[in-house]
Structure 1
Amino acid sequence: MTVDDTGGSPCLSDALAEFVDGKSPNYAANLERVVGTWIDWCADRDVHTLEDVEVKTMARYADHLTRRVRAGQADADDGIAASSAWTYYSQISAFLSWATKWEYIPENPADKGRAKDQLPPKPSGNDADRQFWQPEQRQALLTYLDERAREAVDEAGLDAVEPVRDRAIAAVLAYTGVRGAEVLADRHDPRRTGITWSDVDLEAGTITVLGKNQEVEPTPLPEQASRPLARLRTLLSPPDDDWPVFPSRHTPTLYEVIDAAGYDRPDADPWTFVLDNGIEPPSLTTSGVRSLLKRWSRDADIPGLDVEDGEYLTLHGARRGVGEKLYRERGAAAAQRTLRHADPSTTSQMYSHIEASELAEDNTDIFDEE
């Protein structure tokens, strides 16, 4: 291990390499990212070795985190949450606790009250309390909708549009990590009219969406979602690629587009009239899909939900569930790329409960060695 010129204290980067040695790849990667960022911050302040880290160093770092939290309160994309600040500080503290165990430093400066007093107020809750679609919930929902779609196709053939559409919606939400407003219409935002078939590239496995940052960007479309979409397209047979991927079959809304197209309202089914006359139907809205999710949650017997108490699978819970699966299985970078977070701290904030849980397991191992 590299030491300073006096031959005493290890340099921070070498100490970090020793600290993460033997840990699980994902956990090691998260530690290297968080502690590595702190080491870069220290280097800018001429702090290069473990011995250089003082209580004042950690107090200044805590204050730095607090200022980032304040920036996040003004603009969520320009800072971090308080939960992230505490997670980062805890990981640095764990690193310094390890250094004291191996007698590289006599005590942990991050544990001192003078340093911790500079942190933002500790949040009362965390993202573990927010909904994440769990694997068994994804499977229960998709199994229910898949069986429903198969039965409809067997019984109704080309009239099975709605169940096949519903299966495709759920698959896109469950496996892509998109925000609901990126693929559905939002009545409060005229730019968000729902994706069309021109936005979907089934062969390349991508969907082009209008992101939260108001930029058009591609998002991955795994096979678990592309297969239901391909079946939906075959069934719908849209006359052109400008048709919505997830059309609404809401009767009053269909009558509105029939009126707008200059036709008299038909006595027959408005959906059939729209198709027969090549009238482009409207896209399903976010509020419409929330209503569907409530119904599906009740009918599909989703595990872990108290539907009698009003619980149901939410749109954003699907996105968080995708990120959680990727975070656990492939690490923070994979989750960040799929969720298209501009700042890695946003991903860390969302899944800080995973980092904290893994840290607890690691600390358990450390104390078991005493």
Structure 2
Amino acid sequence: MIDDTTGQEPAERPLRSSFERYLQDKGKGRGGDGGNYRRNAARELERFEEWAVGDRGNDDWTGIVPADVDRDPTFEDLDERVFREYARHLAGDRGLKQNTVQTYYRYISAWCGWCVNEGYLEAHYAQRASAMAPLPEDDGRKPGDQQAWTSAQRHALTRHVDEKARDAIETFTTLSDDADPLDRQRARYEALKAARDRALVFVLAYTAVRVGELLRDPNDPRRRGVRWEELSLEDGSMDVYRKKQQWDAASLPDPVISPLRSYRQLMDPPTDRWPVFPTFDQRTLAGLVRDELADRGEHPDTIDSRRGEYARDFLLALDEDVRPPSITTDGARSILQRLSEAAGIDIDHPKHDYLAPHGGRRGMGEVLVRAFGYTVAARYLDNSEEMVRDRYSHIEAGELGDVATEALSEIDG
């Protein structure tokens, strides 16, 4: 496949010619210009190119282009030996920890895989065993599963959604009595959406409930999303279908109660069988309203007329008790991506450039282990103590280090 603009075969193109397209594919927002992953990947691609040119190696390193050739590195210069040398280069940097070396290499490996799909390379050289051999041994930690919301991140996100919900609710409740009905509906809709997002974030941030226990899983009909009938705000508890395939009560700590109570009061669901976190997807709701009202015997023209009286189909669904489905686990991830970006939260993670749902659970695990120990944390997290000790072993290691330091201080003092 020859590039119409340059007349070059893909293998003849400079490495840099692929960077912008790759970063756009991986970026967020309009044009793929945003996102922490894009920023971090761009940094590592720059470093890789500098090394490939010969600017980041030792005094004997001249890059991957043959010494008698005067050009920038191209894809025809890449093979598994090149990636092996780069892995050795990263591993030889004594300032990098094992996990950091693995993380930096993953950025380059991901780009390599993309280049194979786009026709720049014939094979995914970076993933070959010989290429990865110089990397430090995996210490058992999986960076993609290790995100934990820090206290600062949790506070920043909850503060953001709280402010947005308060503003939206105030806008709705302070509308004048003579406001246009459709304007009032739009304001209520925005307040409901902001209140739902706030409640969702607070639940994920403070309850440590698995997102699959809270929301709908399209692949598992038993996981249809928690309903209002399964919440007891007075007792501070919520019934969820646990990972161990049975119903169990989860705790609702104090920070969660007020957002949920305010949200329920604003929504005023027709029955307690409504999902706590319904979808607001317009296409889904439009089809649902049409089908349900048609099943009730409404004429299509009447349905269209009814829908025209509402600013959003969700509000008609509320009035007619057309129960929508819960948002899905993927939907929650999309919401958190949007909210993390809107809140301007700084996130440095190899896999997630937003505060992922499981990070809220892990963050609470950190808090509980440090405050009350592994036994209490295991009960709250609905895990075995052995598993919690394994996942949060770094906390015990740090505490033992403090004990050793204190012991040495007393002996040497």
Normalising by structure 1, what TM-score? 0.63
Q: CA deviation at 1:307?
A: 8.9
1:182-331 counterparts in 2 under 5 A?
Answer: 182-263=213-294, 264=303, 266-267=307-308, 268=310, 269-303=312-346, 305-306=347-348, 311-331=353-373
Q: Deviations over 1:209-261 (max 9, x none)?
A: 00000110001101101111001110010111100111111011112322431
CA distance in 2, matches of 1:253, 1:219: 30
Match of 2:149 in 1: 133
CA distance in 1, matches of 2:320, 2:275: 16
CA distance in 1, matches of 2:332, 2:373: 30
- Summarize the Cα distance change of 1:126–1:356 in structure 2 as closer, same or farther, 3 Å threshold: farther
User: 314-323 or 266-275: which moved more?
Assistant: 266-275
**Contact 1:297-1:307 within 8 A present in 2 as well:** no
CA distance in 2, matches of 1:153, 1:262: 30
- Summarize the Cα distance change of 1:170–1:138 in structure 2 as closer, same or farther, 3 Å threshold: same
- Quick check: 1:124 aligned with 2:139? yes
SS of structure 1 residue aligned to 2:358? helix
Match of 1:352 in 2: 393
SS of structure 2 residue aligned to 1:312? coil
Q: CA deviation at 1:308?
A: 12
Match of 2:171 in 1: 155
- Quick check: 1:142 aligned with 2:183? no
Q: CA deviation at 1:274?
A: 1.1
Match of 2:199 in 1: 168
Q: Deviations over 1:45-68 (max 9, x none)?
A: xxxxxxxxxxxxxxxxxxxxxxxx
Q: Which amino acid aligns with 1:212?
A: K
- Summarize the Cα distance change of 1:294–1:145 in structure 2 as closer, same or farther, 3 Å threshold: same
**Contact 2:270-2:319 within 8 A present in 1 as well:** no
**Contact 1:248-1:283 within 8 A present in 2 as well:** yes
**Contact 2:147-2:349 within 8 A present in 1 as well:** no
Normalising by structure 2, what TM-score? 0.57
- Quick check: 1:332 aligned with 2:348? no
Q: CA deviation at 1:276?
A: 2.3
SS of structure 2 residue aligned to 1:247? coil
Match of 2:118 in 1: none
Query: What RMSD, in angstroms, separates the aligned Cα atoms of the two structures?
Result: 2.1
Greater RCO structure (CA 8 Å; 6+ sep): 1
Q: CA deviation at 1:271?
A: 1.4
- Summarize the Cα distance change of 1:320–1:239 in structure 2 as closer, same or farther, 3 Å threshold: same
**Contact 1:127-1:353 within 8 A present in 2 as well:** no
Q: Which amino acid aligns with 2:391?
A: M
SS of structure 1 residue aligned to 2:269? coil
Match of 1:53 in 2: none
CA distance in 2, matches of 1:293, 1:328: 26
Q: Which amino acid aligns with 1:126?
A: R
Q: Which amino acid aligns with 2:161?
A: L
SS of structure 2 residue aligned to 1:190? strand
Q: CA deviation at 1:344?
A: 1.1
**Contact 2:368-2:377 within 8 A present in 1 as well:** yes
SS of structure 2 residue aligned to 1:181? helix
Unaligned runs of 5+ in 1: 1-121
- Summarize the Cα distance change of 1:307–1:151 in structure 2 as closer, same or farther, 3 Å threshold: farther
**Contact 2:270-2:318 within 8 A present in 1 as well:** no
SS of structure 1 residue aligned to 2:240? strand
**Count of matched residue positions in the alignment of Structure 1 and Structure 2:** 247
- Summarize the Cα distance change of 1:127–1:308 in structure 2 as closer, same or farther, 3 Å threshold: closer
User: 255-264 or 229-238: which moved more?
Assistant: 255-264
Q: Deviations over 1:21-66 (max 9, x none)?
A: xxxxxxxxxxxxxxxxxxxxxxxxxxxxxxxxxxxxxxxxxxxxxx
CA distance in 2, matches of 1:319, 1:163: 22
Q: CA deviation at 1:123?
A: 5.1
Q: CA deviation at 1:141?
A: 0.4
CA distance in 2, matches of 1:187, 1:288: 11
CA distance in 2, matches of 1:308, 1:336: 27
Q: Deviations over 1:289-315 (max 9, x none)?
A: 100111111111224x14999611011
SS of structure 2 residue aligned to 1:192? strand
Q: CA deviation at 1:348?
A: 0.5
**Contact 1:244-1:282 within 8 A present in 2 as well:** yes
Give every structure 1 segment of 4 or more consecutive aligned residues whose post-TM-superposition deviation is greater than 4 Å: 306-310
